Amino acid sequence: MNAVSEETKLSCRHVWKVYAGDATPYFKSEVDGANAAELSARMREDGAIPAAVDVSFDVHVGEIFVIMGLSGSGKSTMVRCLSRLVEPTHGEILLDGEDLLKKSDRELIDIRRHNMGMVFQNFGLMPHLSVFDNIAFPLSLQGVPMAEQVERVRRVIELVGLEGRETSYPTELSGGQQQRVGIARSLAVEPELWFLDEPFSALDPLIRRQMQDEFLRIQKTLQKSIVFITHDFLEALKIADRMMIMRDGMVVQVGSPAELIVNPADDYVAEFTEDVPLVRVLKATDVLDPEQAPTAEMPQRDCQCSVEELLSLLSTHREGIAAMRDGSPIGVVTAASVITALAHAERGDEEEAAMLEEVSN
């Protein structure tokens, strides 16, 4: 849905976070992916807590990368490692190719001031500052002149739709509005990298949906590189370009939402996907038949369109719908191709169940 380039913004290589008295002995010998699970189990036996275990992933420029996991899965630790709010125990974090973990305190402050923004679950607003002062806070720390502060704050306030609330205090705002302030504050410094730690989890379901839509709208205009944390699988599906599922500090699977649903890596992922309405998640690009050539009579739709949106159109156009990318057709969606894709996804579950049964026997 966004123009995602292949260029890497942020890269996480074998990152570990271990809560222990002294974790260095564990990393004396070279750690590779193969024995990571084993090492993590050994740490637990020793009473240490491995909160992130050998985590590796890339975030591309302009991409929404979602880290999804239940509480205690290490997702919040992970996003804090990326900004060094939590110091990783081991590994590399490359921002534009430079290792963030090697930066001095001074350099880190500078990076946070200009290149990163972060939104928090419970907003993290300063209770003693007005909406305006909260949003201007990062700018005023940098010593940006007042006139420029006013101008930049006005811009982000417009972006998040908070006009007229500048002089309110956080306690006078609803949860949704408070999070708008949080979002505006994180955007005021115009960062390229945007971290959102469960930004909508503290909000009511209705407000949450509305905020998700607005978040997508904002991202459409800003094209930031985003790491988005959530425990809500459906939210992840709705928002993610690519997502990563974590469990017990370990990466379970990385891929696009459709990939995860069609090919869940294990039972754990499959369990999340079980109740997902496939037609809503799968997109034209996931169900099209690339062999078939579109004809001129066929209606044309963008390949990022959800299957749900195509269904009614399909009922009137039995011959199929042309799926387009950047103005040129890449294949045809037909009733048959949709059914094949859906059946494949369902069968995937069954096949796996059958295999498991075999193994256990």
Partner 1 sequence: MSRFRAIDWAWLGLIAMTLVLLALRDSATWLIKYPDEWVVPITPWLNVFMDWCVDNFGPFFRAFSAALDVPMSAVRDLLNWLPWSVTLALLTYVSYVVSGWRLALFTFLAILYMVVIGYWSESMNSLALVAISVPLAVAIGFGLGTLSFYSKRAERIIGPTMDLLQTVPAFAYLLPILLLFGFGPVVGLIASVLYAFPPTVRNTMLGLSRVPAEVIEAGLMAGATPRQLFWRVRTPTALRQILLGVNQTTMAAFSMVIIASIIGGTADIGWEVLSTMRKAQFGESLLAGIVIALMAMVMDRITAAAAIAEPGEPKINQGFVARHRFLILFTAVGLGVALLSQFLSFLVDYPEVWQIYPAQILNDGVNYLVVEHAATINLIKSWAFFFVMLPVKMGFEQTITPYSWGFEFSGALKLLYAIAAVGLTLWAAFRRGLSRAILIAFCATLLFFGLTRLPWPALLAMATLLSWQLGGTRLALGTLAGLGFLVLAGVWPQTLLSIYLCGLAVLLSFVIGVALGVLASEFDGVSAFLRPINDTLQTMPLFVILIPFVMIFKIGEFTALLAIMAYAIVPAIRYAEHGLRSVSDTVIEAATAIGCTRWQMLWRVKLPLALPVMMLGLNQTIMYGIAMLVIAALVGTNGLGQRVYIGLGDGDFGVGMVAGIGMAIIAIIADRLTQAWSRKRQTELGIDVEQ
Closest CB 202 distance from partner 1, rounded Å? 11
Nearest to 193 by CA among 346, 27, 361, 60: 60
Strand 116-119 and strand 193-197: the pairing is parallel
Coil vs helix vs strand at 291: coil
Give the H/E segment covering residue 214: helix 205-222
Q: Which helix (H) or strand (E) holds 77?
A: helix 75-82
> Which of 75, 80, 238, 242 touches partner 1 (CB under 8 A)?
80
- Report the nearest approach of partner 1 to the CB of residue 107 (Å): 11
Assess 130 for contact with partner 1 (CB under 8 A).
yes
Report the residue number, 115 or 263, with the smaller CB distance to partner 1.
Answer: 115
Tell me the per-residue interface mask from 156 to 185 with partner 1, x by CB under 8 A, - otherwise.
Answer: ----------xx-x------------x--x
How far out from the chain centre does Cα 314 lie?
A: 32
Among 46, 133, 248, 319, binds partner 1 (CB under 8 A): 133
Strand ranges in 113-167 using DSSP code E only, listed in sequence order: 116-119
If the CB atoms of residues 83 and 292 are measured against partner 1, the closer one turns out to be: 83
Taking the least distance from each CB to partner 1, the nearer of 12 and 119 is: 119
What is the smallest separation between the CB atom of 112 and partner 1, expressed in angstroms?
4
Q: Which helix (H) or strand (E) holds 107?
A: helix 105-114
Pattern 307-336, partner 1, x by CB under 8 A: ------------------------------
As measured in angstroms, the least distance from the Cβ of 104 to partner 1 is 13
Q: Please tell me the count of residues contacting partner 1 according to CB under 8 A.
A: 39
Nearer to partner 1, 75 or 80 (CB): 80
As a whole number of angstroms, the distance between CA 347 and CA 169 comes to 54
186 binds partner 1 (CB under 8 A): yes
Q: Choose one: 65-73, 78-86, 271-279, 325-333; the region binding partner 1 (CB under 8 A).
A: 78-86
Site string for partner 1, 273-312 (x = CB under 8 A): ----------------------------------------
Among residues 2, 101, 124, 248, which is the contact residue for partner 1, using CB under 8 A? 124
Q: How are the residues of the chain apportioned to helix, strand and coil, as percentages rounded to the nearest 5?
A: 45, 20, 30
Q: Which is nearer to partner 1, 183 or 261 (CB)?
A: 183
138 binds partner 1 (CB under 8 A): yes
| Closest CB 131 distance from partner 1, rounded Å | 8
- Residue 320 backbone zone (phi > 0: left; psi -120 to 50: alpha; other: beta): left
> CA triplet 351, 354, 360: central angle to 5 degrees?
140
Contact (CB, 8 A) for 81 and 52: yes
Phi then psi dihedrals of residue 161, to 5 deg: 75, 45
Q: How far is CA 225 from CA 55, 88, 170, 192, 240, in A?
A: 19, 21, 28, 6, 12
Pair of tokens at residue 75: 């997702």
What does the block give as tokens for 141? 């720390």
Contact string (CB under 8 A) for partner 1, positions 225-264, x = contact: ----------------------------------------
Q: Answer yes or no whether residue 128 interacts with partner 1 by CB under 8 A.
A: yes
Phi-psi region of 247 (alpha: psi -120 to 50; beta: other; left: phi over 0): beta
Q: Which of 132, 200, 215, 233 binds partner 1 (CB under 8 A)?
A: 132
Task: Establish if 109 lies at the interface with partner 1 (CB under 8 A).
Answer: yes
CA 344 to chain CA mean position, Å = 26
Report in angstroms how near the CB of residue 105 gets to partner 1 at its nearest: 8
Q: Which residues partner with 255 through β-bridges?
A: 243
Q: Which helix (H) or strand (E) holds 206?
A: helix 205-222
Interface residues with partner 1 (CB under 8 A)? 80, 83, 85, 109-110, 112-114, 116-118, 120-130, 132-133, 137-138, 141-142, 146-147, 150, 166-167, 169, 182, 185-186, 189, 195
